[in-house]
Amino acid sequence: MAGVAYDLTKDPYLTLDVIDINSPLDLCTDIRDAELVCSFRCPTVITADVELQFSIRPEYPPSWAPDLTPEHPFSTSRNGQLLVMEFVTPEFHPNDEVDEHIFVLFVHLSTILARIKSICNGQTGCIFPWEDWGPRDARMMDFDESDFLYNIHGTKFVKPFPDRSGIELYDFNHRSIRHLLLSGEVDRQTKLLTEDTTCDEEGDTFKQPVTTSLPYLIRTFPSSTGTPIVGDVMLSEDALIMLSRVCTYSLSAFSF
């Protein structure tokens, strides 16, 4: 995970910068002075006297490689990962209360890698505009809370209901979506979203409303009682681990 706070009065253009860590660098080189392979421009944020908190959470670090031992015959593809980026800006009220505007952007790592591979050998400093990679190949949503460090695995993402009475599982796997489209088998707990959605139409964080269209499935698992029972959740390769709040804390694991 990487996180940083940006002063929007200095530069309203937020970018994802790609640096080749295998290229020779002086040991004392400031990372901000390193030569960029390319940059991915994000939606333009408003210029205001506030700080934008930005974080990006991949499931694995760039150096990760799958375990190829016989004991682990299956694993997530290195390119089959989901990057989750979070944009948070505060909203101050006259009574000194502070709310947060939280927007979360989902994009496949393969989308980023494909753009990088399209760069000619030796070319540096290439900038990919938001319009080139974001609206069609990413999906932005607004959430009520943040801190999703352990909620990602592969192309899946999980979070509790806002009232903690159940959980939502988001699946951005292209094959799962294709299978559902071909079979037409959708139960009451599953919803397929392929249409465009627009975030921040009020202009609280970005200069223009952000419209994105990356398809995804969402599966809901409500509590049988309808009462707030879900604490924290963690997603692994084949299980969902949930901390429940029922009088006392309990830990539950569900396989899928």
Mean pLDDT score, 206-235: 81
> What's the whole-number mean pLDDT along residues 134-154?
82
Query: What local confidence, expressed as pLDDT, does residue 209 receive?
Result: 94
The ranges assigned to domains in the chain are 2-255
pLDDT of residue 239: 74
What number of CA atoms fall less than 13 Å from residue 100's CA on the CB side?
16
**Residue 105: strand pairing partners:** 85, 140
Residue 206 DSSP symbol: B
Q: Is the pLDDT of residue 49 over 80?
A: no
pLDDT value at 196 more than 60: yes
Q: What mean pLDDT comes out for the span 68-84?
A: 71
Residue 236 reports pLDDT greater than 70: yes
Percent of the chain with pLDDT over 70: 70
Higher pLDDT, 151 or 209: 209
Contact 50, 6 (CB under 8 A): no
pLDDT tens digits, one per residue of 86-123: 888 877 777 777 778 889 999 998 899 899 888 877 77
Integer Cα distance of 59 and 39 in angstroms: 21
pLDDT value, residue 147:
60
Residue position matching structure tokens 């909203």 = 91
The confidence band for 1, taking pLDDT boundaries of 50, 70 and 90, is: very low
32-47: pLDDT as tens digits: 677 788 889 999 887 6
Residues 6+ apart with CB under 8 A from 43: 14, 130, 134, 140, 206, 207, 208, 210
**What is the value of pTM for the model shown?**
0.82
Summarize the confidence of residues 36-61 as an average pLDDT.
77
CA-based nearest residue to 41, from 120, 118, 138, 121: 138
